[in-house]
């Protein structure tokens, strides 16, 4: 099993282990995973912790990330008209399989890549009808550029610009202590071995889940 090495690994490029995570003979070289200890900085955003941030829910209610303390969180920027939109199905399955173990899947709609033109009510209806989505989702926000939500600015500074979302369905994994553990590109599907095993490893570190 792939074990996420927490706290003391600075940078880990999964391309170096691509042979270990090939599937059906096809090497998953379209993605990388970054594991790290966050660098020191005087930046307010970089010195912020995950639990300082908040979003508005897809229904317009405040969603403080402090509500997810002691939870493993998978954050995914989503869109309804993307070639990767089918990943909603895999995200819902992750939520159903592991929410009782402490996983939160958080969907963040964005039109930054021009594939989520609808209003929040349209997005919610689309996700419910087509994928039976019931994991938490935020209101539509910007995730890249100067208008990006503060969480995404923090993640970009923590991990470096190369690990910022380049398309819809980019994924960040955070530990039960609010530390950024990994960044997965859009091409890495929710049911992939690397995501599943990274989540399981993170969940195993929640004290309540330890045997």
The string of pLDDT tens digits covering residues 68-96 is 999 999 999 999 999 999 999 999 999 99
Catalytic residue among 17, 38, 46, 82: 82
Percent share of the chain, pLDDT over 70: 77
d(C-alpha 182, C-alpha 50), whole Å: 14
**Could you give all domains of the chain from N- to C-terminal order, each with its CATH number?**
48-209 (3.40.30.10)
Q: What is the DSSP string of 76-110?
A: EEE-SSSTTTTHHHHHHHHHHHHGGGTEEEEEEE-
d(C-alpha 61, C-alpha 47), whole Å: 26
d(C-alpha 83, C-alpha 91), whole Å: 15
14: annotated active-site residue: no
pLDDT digits (tens, 9 = 90+) for 142-152: 999 999 999 99
Residues whose CB is less than 8 angstroms from the CB of residue 44 and which lie 6 or more positions away in sequence, other chains included: none
4 vs 127: which has the higher pLDDT: 127
d(C-alpha 100, C-alpha 114), whole Å: 35
> Averaged over 155-183, what is the pLDDT?
96
d(C-alpha 207, C-alpha 170), whole Å: 28
> Tell me, what DSSP letter sits at residue 171?
E
Q: How high is the pLDDT of residue 172?
A: 98
d(C-alpha 150, C-alpha 53), whole Å: 7
Burial of 51 (0-12, 13-18, 19+ CB in 10 A): middle
> Averaged over 44-49, what is the pLDDT?
64
Q: How high is the pLDDT of residue 36?
A: 41
- Burial string for 31-45 (b: 16+ CB within 10 Å, else e) reads bbbbbbeeeeeeeeb
- Alpha carbon dihedral 173, 124, 121, 119, in 10-degree steps, equals 50
**In the beta sheet, which residues pair with residue 55?**
63
- Residue 7: left if φ>0, alpha if ψ -120 to 50, beta else—which one? left
**What average pLDDT is seen over the chain?**
84
Q: What is the pTM of this model?
A: 0.80
Helix (H) or strand (E) holding 44: helix 44-47
SS3 146: coil
Q: How high is the pLDDT of residue 20?
A: 40
């Amino acid at each position: 099993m792939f074990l996420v090495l927490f706290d003391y690994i600075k940078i880990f490029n999964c391309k170096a282990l691509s042979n270990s995570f090939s599937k059906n003979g096809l090497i998953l070289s379209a993605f990388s995973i970054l594991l790290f200890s966050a660098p020191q900085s005087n930046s307010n955003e970089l010195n912020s912790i995950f639990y300082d941030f908040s979003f508005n829910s897809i229904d317009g209610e405040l969603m403080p990330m402090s509500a997810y303390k002691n939870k493993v969180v998978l954050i995914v920027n989503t869109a309804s008209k993307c070639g990767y939109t089918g990943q909603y199905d895999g995200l819902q399955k992750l939520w159903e399989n592991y929410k009782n173990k402490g996983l939160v899947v958080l969907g963040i709609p964005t039109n930054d890549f021009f594939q989520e033109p609808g209003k929040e009510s349209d997005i919610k209806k689309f996700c419910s009808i087509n994928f039976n989505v019931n994991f938490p989702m935020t209101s539509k926000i910007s995730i890249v550029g100067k208008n990006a939500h503060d969480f995404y600015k923090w993640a970009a500074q923590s991990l470096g610009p190369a690990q910022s979302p380049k398309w819809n369905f980019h994924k960040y994994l955070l530990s039960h202590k609010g530390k950024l553990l990994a960044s997965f590109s859009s091409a890495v599907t929710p049911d992939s071995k690397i995501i599943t095993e990274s989540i399981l490893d993170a969940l195993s570190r929640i004290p309540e889940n330890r045997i």
